[in-house]
A = this chain, B = another copy of it.
């Protein structure tokens, strides 16, 4: 089962390595006990036994039931202690009230993983929370892992190990395969297995984590990704509790070139509050989560259907090399529909070269073989025409992905047989192309195509959406190395090397000048400006600077300078600067008599720039996140900002910038020059590295406005704010990064 081509896993930080390793006992156990085992195979305590028997688990199975000699034909034990051999997994199929005692018994027995099915824990209020905490404390003290509570269990389909009471497997179990399913929601996880089975997609491992009292999604994800039996993981998540393990898992997927497709719910405010009531945790900011998946090359599914559609294609293991899409169609209307969807989803509908056009036109004179390659109903005149023209389209068009829109033709065996034969032959000839038939036909016809190893879709838009995700995954998988990916701690993916001096002490709120000085040392450009202690020094400073200048009060006690008359713009002479500085000191001492004033900042007025905002905030789950946007209230109203988890490099910063809807404004519109995108990208990357290095010390950074000048003229921070996490902690400005 081991894949010699799989690269070695990364060394995980802290105790994560051992936490992940301990899940081997959950996913590949040699023995299992069922506490509360039932003879009734559809009861919660009965289903796991039934499944273990039906699926042929070869390890030891120990029903625990003090009132019976045998359960479902297996010898029963009065208690967990009574079991003779070691127990890797103990399934606790008891009501919530009886669970803590069972956990205690398992711990005493030396069970390696206990699974708790029952609800009635943290999700139901204080009493439940107390019960859950007690169970966790017992397990931790004994070095035993806990899955659940309030979960549907897990399975390992390769070895027939079923530790679940999901009714979705009553009639039929999934077949083993390269896709594994991990879900916080039990019902959604088993529902997904059901949908995959319907499409003939094999599922290897399956786990639901429920309340995540102990085992949480990130470590389970890491275990699955590291298994050589797993190529693709489908994840259903409501809330990420442990940012570090989740990020480590994302990085591991990238490193091992495995595919992760995520359906993350609780996007909306209502959804998030429902998630809170459901799992006892708050859902993170959805836009941040979305950006992180993109940053690490994981696919986010739009809906369950989209998730399954993408998995169906992933299971084939062919990822398009680029974003070009060929649209082969027997219906002009569907061809247009696909072209629309391709534009929406960012695929390129590049035209069929003239030689290919001519070859198809010679076979089908009324066709329109551009792209969409519309072969029209003419193609139905003779059964072999579809295969022949499709081959021309693939050979001449070179499309790495191709949808074949066949409407309802394959309903008739007259068409289904030759089409399927052609598709098989074309796959032989073009093994690196993803060729996807799209049609509506009875289930048995669809099944024939699926059994022949094709992903089959019914809906044109759904097919294009799936291929767009595949192209995106392909881009990530084919990208060399890990460039563009944020690092996990110490892995040094941030690829620009520079060192700055270390700062000693940081007050809780920094004045503008201090913040700018710190950021300047971290590599963020600031204007050439002078702190003047008095009016005369201000005049002298102004003499050295290009006119006009602005003056701004400098005080750690004044956060909003404009409101107290602490900013004067557009001063043209040194004399004016002196006079206005005096007037400002007078105003401030009236308005804020208590404020400590260090002086005024004399700063050149810069024109010709576009105002942008660079920001950093601490996501409660993932840590420092960098934000980028344009200045102005309209941007705020439209929420046109993009995010990345710190740290990242300039390439990632560029990607982040292009995600703005208003990005065109930076590229130059209406005759305006393009902005210095390199300078912005550099500043974003440096800011991210600074934020990451100081992640324990800084709560918030605001570089606003950050003025983006025309190309080649750089960009500069006109104002800056740093909010420290607590008073007087030192800030690390020497960012140690690996040279690229």
Query: Which of chain B's residues have a CB closer than 8 A to the CB of A633?
Result: 665, 669-670, 672
Copy number in the complex reads 2
Interface residue stretch chosen among A48-56, A153-161, A406-414, A420-428: A406-414
A164-191 CB contacts (< 8 Å) to partner B: 167-168, 170-171, 183-188, 190-191
Q: Is residue A589 contacting chain B, with contact meaning CB distance below 8 A?
A: no
Please state if B333 and A236 are interface contacts (CB–CB under 8 Å): yes
| B377 in contact with A336 (CB, 8 Å) | no
Contact of A462 among B198, B305, B634 (CB under 8 A): B305
Q: Are A337 and B634 in contact (CB under 8 A)?
A: no
Question: Which stretch of A338-346, A569-577, A731-739 is in the interface?
Answer: A338-346
Q: How far is the CA of A171 from the CA of B332 in the complex (A)?
A: 23
Q: Mark A39-61, 1 if CB is under 8 A from B, else 0.
A: 00000000000000000000000
Which listed residue (B305, B411, B669) contacts A637, Cβ 8 A? B669
Number of interface residues of A (CB under 8 A): 92
- Cβ-closest chain B residue relative to A411: B171
C-alpha spacing A190/B377, complex, angstroms: 12
Residue A120 interfacial (CB < 8 Å):
yes
The segment out of A367-375, A386-394, A476-484, A703-711 that lies at the interface is A367-375
With a CB–CB cut-off of 8 A, which chain B residues contact A371?
270
By a CB distance below 8 angstroms, the chain B residues around A331 are 185-188, 191
Tell whether, in the assembled complex, residue B407 and residue A270 are in contact, meaning their CB atoms are under 8 Å apart: no
Q: Does A664 contact B (CB under 8 A)?
A: yes
Partner of A662, one of B198, B270, B412, B637: B637
| A370-B274, A665-B634 given; A187·B333 CB < 8 A | yes
Interface residues in A293-313 (C-beta closer than 8 Å to B)? 302-305
Choose the segment among A261-269, A543-551, A716-724 that binds chain B (4+ C-beta atoms closer than 8 Å).
Answer: A261-269
Contact of A634 (CB < 8 Å), options: B278, B304, B332, B630: B630
A256 adjacent to chain B (CB < 8 Å): no
**Scoring A residues 268 to 292 as 1 if CB is less than 8 Å from chain B, else 0, what string do you get?**
1111101101110000000000000
**Whole-angstrom distance between the Cβ of A350 and the nearest chain B Cβ:** 10
User: At the interface, yes or no: A380 with Cβ under 8 Å from chain B?
Assistant: yes
Q: Is A349 part of the binding interface, using a Cβ–Cβ cutoff of 8 Å?
A: yes
- Residue of B124, B183, B279, B638 near A638 (CB, 8 A) is B638
Beta-carbon contact of B278 and A332 below 8 Å:
yes
CB distance from A149 to the nearest CB of B (A): 11
User: 20 extra interchain contacts, Cβ-Cβ under 8 A, other than A168-B407, A277-B374?
Assistant: A185-B332, A188-B331, A188-B333, A188-B407, A265-B337, A266-B340, A268-B342, A270-B339, A270-B343, A274-B332, A274-B374, A277-B370, A278-B368, A303-B459, A303-B462, A304-B337, A304-B459, A304-B460, A305-B459, A634-B662
A: residues with CB less than 8 A from B are 119-120, 123-124, 167-168, 170-171, 183-188, 190-191, 194-195, 198, 236, 238, 263, 265-272, 274-275, 277-279, 302-305, 330-337, 339-344, 349, 366, 368, 370-372, 374, 376-378, 380, 407-409, 411-412, 440, 443, 458-462, 630, 632-638, 640, 661-662, 664-665, 669-670, 672
